[in-house]
């Protein structure tokens, strides 16, 4: 029996929507579990079903864009001043 069939649908939906804390809360409500037990069950589902869960962006792409914009602005200012 897979974890998916053991977890309620709303818990699985929360996991797949990258709302792990909500999934843990929902599972605790459904099963009257302690926090540790619910977290372990959600973590086990995530480990066993990684291919079904979208990965969160680290935000590194935005940081690169900001650095490029700053570099362009500095280049423009230097060009205007010395060019």
CB neighbour list of residue 77: distance below 8 Å, 6 or more residues apart: none
**pLDDT for residue 53:** 77
Q: Where in the chain are the domains? A: 3-82
Q: Is 40 left (phi over 0), alpha (psi -120 to 50) or beta?
A: alpha
User: From the CA atom positions of the chain, what is the Rg in Å?
Assistant: 22
Give the global pTM: 0.61
> For residue range 22-67, what is the model confidence (pLDDT) as tens digits?
999 999 999 999 999 999 999 999 999 988 777 665 566 778 888 9
Helices (H), the chain: 3-6, 9-16, 20-31, 35-48, 60-82
Contact status, residue 16 vs residue 54, Cβ threshold 8 Å: yes
């Amino acid at each position: 029996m897979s974890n998916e069939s053991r977890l309620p649908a709303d818990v699985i939906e929360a996991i797949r929507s990258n709302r792990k804390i909500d999934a843990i809360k929902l599972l605790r409500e459904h099963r009257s579990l302690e926090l540790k037990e619910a977290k372990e069950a959600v973590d086990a589902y995530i480990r066993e079903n990684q291919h079904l869960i979208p990965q969160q962006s680290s935000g590194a792409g935005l940081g690169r864009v900001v650095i490029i914009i700053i570099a362009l602005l500095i280049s423009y200012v230097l060009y205007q001043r010395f060019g």
